């Protein structure tokens, strides 16, 4: 019995030595025996992962801790430097197209396996079919035992565990005798957070408005640059005129002092004048529109605006209608010794020659020389 055990141990040792001396085959690369039942029509999917640790082919693939498949092989994508884990799943297992994949461990020091599950960021969608790929955004892995122990060691040795006593002592010293103030501070903080939460919509709108303002300022960047560039000469002129501006402001200050002094000294007289003017203004108010109508007569003699129309400049519009009867005019102008001239009734008929000569001798030359008569019929205007 002992010889057989020794012989087996030597054989295992020689095999291990040969394998280690070869340099291309290790125990980690040897696939695990056995595996889950894949059924008659398994389908294959690919899982992209950033780190597969020591996952090996023929490792289990589980859903709710039930083995439904195995790892076929693992390769490296040279473009993305991600590990492509090719899985074979039993054809009777239905999984959603947006399923998640995690690299887990059976125990603290146990073997690695792939866990497939429902999506954690939304409802299940579609169906995982042959040739599908679960992207790296939907994969994750559990931390290793070495990582846990390393983080725990850092926390205990170089972390804040050793400073808890100092922190607790300082807190007791700061709060001793100030419990009421600390309670009031917490109440105020609670009120502040409640108010901020109630104004959450207004704060969001304000931030959106600032964002739109920033976008508009970015669009008007060239115009602002031109304005600021053109503003520089104006600022230079203002800088040159600064002494004159200062002098003007000082003069205005002195003027205001003088004006205040004048107003202060003449205040009583001004008030007395206004009080004396009060009866006159009262009587003017009582006159109503009589005063404006009387001013119309004074401004447009001898006729008012209502009779003559608008007065324009140094002249006014005046329309006069004159009714001239030729027979009456001749009766008044001719002497009594001259026999009356009988005018034809038809204005189109011409006068006899003899009466016209007599009329020409009898009429005065000067008054009628500039008078233009439109016709000889009676009642012409």
Model confidence pLDDT, tens digit, residues 208-247: 999 999 999 999 988 888 888 888 888 888 888 999 999 9
Which bin fits 309, alpha (ψ -120 to 50), beta or left (φ > 0)? Answer: left
Q: Which residue has the tokens 């002592």?
A: 169
From 147, 167, 188, give the residue that closes a domain.
147
Q: Do 21 and 46 have their domain in common?
A: no
Lowest mean pLDDT among 181-190, 345-354, 369-378: 369-378
- Residue at 55 is within a domain: yes
Averaged pLDDT for residues 167-180: 85
pLDDT of residue 76: 92
From 123, 147, 171, give the residue that closes a domain.
147
Closest listed residue to residue 140, CA positions, set 110, 111, 124, 119? 119
pLDDT of residue 366: 42
Share of the chain above pLDDT 70, in %: 68
Q: Which of 31-45, 72-86, 262-276, 311-325 ranks highest by mean pLDDT? A: 72-86
* Whether the predicted pLDDT of 259 surpasses 80: yes
Q: Which of 32-41, 69-78, 141-150 ranks highest by mean pLDDT? A: 69-78
Averaged pLDDT for residues 263-284: 87
pLDDT of residue 333: 66
pLDDT of residue 336: 46
Number of domains in the chain: 4
Q: Do 7 and 77 have their domain in common?
A: no
Averaged pLDDT for residues 74-103: 92
Rounded-to-5 percentages of helix, strand, coil across the chain: 50, 15, 35
Other Cβ atoms less than 10 A from the Cβ of 107: the count is 7
- Residue at 299 is within a domain: yes
3-state class of 24 per DSSP? coil
Average pLDDT over all residues of the chain? 76
Stronger pLDDT, 307 or 139, i.e. the higher one: 139
Closest listed residue to residue 376, CA positions, set 324, 322, 321? 324
- Residue at 225 is within a domain: no
pLDDT of residue 75: 93
Averaged pLDDT for residues 157-179: 78
Cis peptide before 302 (omega within 30 of 0): yes
Give the pLDDT band of residue 32 (cuts 50, 70, 90). Answer: low
Q: Which of 150-154, 280-284, 347-351, 356-360 ranks highest by mean pLDDT? A: 280-284
pLDDT of residue 158: 63
| Host domain of residue 26 | 1-30
Angstrom distance (rounded) from CA 191 to CA 152: 38
Please, what is the Cα angle at 87 between 82 and 90, to 5 degrees? 160
Q: Which two tokens stand for residue 261?
A: 């002094």
Angstrom distance (rounded) from CA 114 to CA 103: 5
Model confidence pLDDT, tens digit, residues 43-64: 999 999 998 888 888 899 999 9
Averaged pLDDT for residues 350-355: 44
* Whether the predicted pLDDT of 7 surpasses 60: no
pLDDT of residue 11: 41
- Residue at 210 is within a domain: no
Q: Do 56 and 141 have their domain in common?
A: yes
pLDDT of residue 301: 55
Closest listed residue to residue 368, CA positions, set 336, 334, 323, 322? 334
> DSSP of 293-332, one letter per residue?
HHHHHHHSSSS-HHHH--EETTEE---------HHHHHHH
From 103, 120, 147, give the residue that closes a domain.
147
pLDDT of residue 362: 47
Other Cβ atoms less than 10 A from the Cβ of 308: the count is 14
Stronger pLDDT, 59 or 307, i.e. the higher one: 59
- Residue at 40 is within a domain: yes
Give the pLDDT band of residue 38 (cuts 50, 70, 90). Answer: confident
* Residues whose CB falls within 8 Å of the CB of residue 289, separated by 6 or more in sequence, listed in order: none
Averaged pLDDT for residues 319-327: 69
* Whether the predicted pLDDT of 36 surpasses 90: no
pLDDT of residue 172: 86
- Residue at 362 is within a domain: yes
* Whether the predicted pLDDT of 83 surpasses 90: yes
Q: Where are the alpha helices (DSSP H) in the chain?
A: 2-22, 145-157, 164-175, 179-198, 200-219, 221-240, 242-265, 267-287, 290-299, 305-308, 326-333, 353-362, 365-369
Q: Do 357 and 297 have their domain in common?
A: no
Q: Do 114 and 21 have their domain in common?
A: no
pLDDT of residue 225: 87
Q: Do 46 and 122 have their domain in common?
A: yes
pLDDT of residue 342: 53
pLDDT of residue 357: 45
The predicted model scores a pTM of: 0.37
- Residue at 70 is within a domain: yes
Q: Which residue has the tokens 């079919």?
A: 129
- Residue at 311 is within a domain: yes
């Amino acid at each position: 019995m002992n010889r057989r055990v020794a012989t087996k141990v030597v054989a295992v040792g020689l095999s291990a030595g040969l394998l280690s001396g070869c340099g291309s085959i290790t125990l980690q690369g040897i696939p695990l025996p056995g595996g889950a039942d894949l059924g008659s029509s398994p389908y294959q999917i690919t899982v992209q992962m950033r780190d597969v640790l020591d996952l090996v082919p023929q490792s289990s693939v589980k859903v709710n801790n039930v083995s439904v498949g195995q790892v076929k092989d693992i390769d490296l994508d040279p473009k993305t430097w991600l590990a492509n884990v090719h899985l074979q799943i039993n054809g009777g297992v239905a999984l959603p197209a947006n399923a998640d994949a995690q690299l887990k461990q059976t125990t603290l020091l146990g073997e690695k396996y792939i866990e497939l599950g429902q999506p954690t960021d939304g409802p299940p969608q579609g169906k995982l079919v042959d040739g599908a790929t679960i992207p790296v955004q939907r994969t994750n892995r559990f931390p290793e035992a070495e990582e846990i122990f390393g983080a725990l060691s850092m926390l205990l040795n170089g972390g804040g565990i050793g400073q808890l006593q100092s922190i607790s002592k300082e807190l007791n010293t700061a709060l001793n005798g100030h419990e009421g103030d600390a309670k009031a501070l917490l109440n105020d903080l609670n009120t502040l957070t409640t108010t901020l939460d109630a104004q959450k919509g207004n704060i969001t709108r304000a931030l959106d408005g600032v964002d739109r303002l920033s976008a508009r300022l970015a669009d008007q960047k060239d115009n602002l640059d031109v304005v600021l560039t053109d503003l520089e000469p104006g600022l230079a002129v203002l800088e040159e005129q600064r002494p004159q501006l200062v002098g003007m402001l000082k003069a205005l200050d002195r003027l205001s002092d003088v004006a205040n002094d004048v107003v202060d000294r003449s205040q009583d007289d001004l008030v007395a004048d206004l009080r004396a003017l009060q009866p006159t203004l009262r009587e003017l108010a009582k006159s109503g529109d009589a005063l404006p109508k009387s001013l119309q007569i004074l401004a447009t003699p001898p006729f008012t605006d209502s009779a003559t129309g608008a007065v324009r400049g140094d002249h006014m519009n005046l329309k006069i209608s004159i009714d001239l009867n030729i027979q009456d005019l001749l009766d008044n102008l001719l002497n009594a010794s001259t026999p009356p001239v009988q005018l034809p009734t038809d204005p189109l008929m011409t006068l006899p020659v003899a009466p016209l000569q007599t009329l020409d001798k009898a009429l005065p030359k000067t008054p009628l020389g500039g008078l233009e008569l439109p016709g000889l019929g009676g009642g012409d205007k």
